[in-house]
Amino acid sequence: MQILITNDDGVTHPGLLALTREMRQLGEVTVLAPDRNWSASGHAKTLDRPMRVRETRLADGFPAWMSDGGPSDCVALAMLGLFKHPFDLVVSGINPNANVGHDVTYSGTVTAAMEAAISDVRGFAVSLDRPGELPISETDFGPAARAARRVVAAALAHELPKNAILSINVPYLPDDQIRGVRVTRMGTRIYNDALDSREDPRGRPYYWIGGASPTGLAEDGTDYGALVEGYVSVTPLELDLTDYALHRTLQEWNLA
């Protein structure tokens, strides 16, 4: 079992270390992750410059590789033969924030898993619903890493199709307080973004997208709803974004 680990927070992130330690129990692990933070970079593809790949080590000494490309670039490099062998699955994370609802369209964690699916390799994205005020240095990624290992192992035992994408979100709870696993659909995120306009020293305006952290609708059957109730959320995703209901409607219109 050949497993590729990546993330969108950078190769030194403790979430990647925790995930790597658990995944090493399931097979041969190769780590290739960005050398910096690419969170919310979406499904990026670097085409206008060369990419470098350098050897490094994780905090526990485990050998790893880092690239100046993004998360989906790292997956593409590995899928295209950088390591001279194929992979059975790609696991991305652990992202230190949940990726629920529309987050999946922004998330480098999730788009890394999507990149795997494009190459017909199973992709798993693992995200932790950490309280926003909790410093990363004080965050325990252990329960989420163990939950991810159990879900990945179960999915493989059930012969998860090769191009499947599973987005796993874990509530921030100790192992014995996680209530179980729910298979979910994408829910509704509520963004509280606000435009922050400022002026540079030369009087020219510049902008930040600021505002409070997103919340969501805690609906039954959704990713966000499962997290709120203390369950691990497992959402199967696919890359077909077609709106089939609207497709039928449009066919009845005379668009010409």
Chain residues that interact with Mn ion, rule: CB under 5 A: 8-9, 39, 95
Inter-CA distances, 50 with 45, 46, 76, 77, 116, Å = 12, 8, 14, 12, 21
Query: Which amino acid type is present at position 190?
Result: I
Nearer to Mn ion, 10 or 142 (CB): 10
Strand partners, 23: none
CB 249 to Mn ion: min, Å: 37
Rounded CA separation 123/11 (Å): 18
Give the three-state DSSP class for 229.
Answer: coil
Written as six digits, the tokens of 30 are: 């190769």
Name the closest residue to Mn ion (Cβ).
39
Contacts of residue 84, defined as CB under 8 A and 6 or more positions apart, other chains included, come to none
Taking the complex as a whole, how short is the minimal distance between the CB of residue 93 and Mn ion, in angstroms?
8
Dig out the tokens for 46 from the structure.
Answer: 């670097």
Give whichever of 67 and 95 is closer to Mn ion, judged by the CB atom: 95
Nearer to Mn ion, 1 or 136 (CB): 136
Q: How far is the CB of 239 from Mn ion (least distance, A)?
A: 20
Minimum gap (Å) between residue 167 Cβ and Mn ion: 13
The distance of closest approach from Cβ of residue 109 to Mn ion in the complex, given in angstroms and rounded to an integer, is 6
Strand partners, 201: none
* Distance in angstroms (rounded) separating the CA atoms of residues 182 and 100: 14
Contact 234, 184 (CB under 8 A): yes
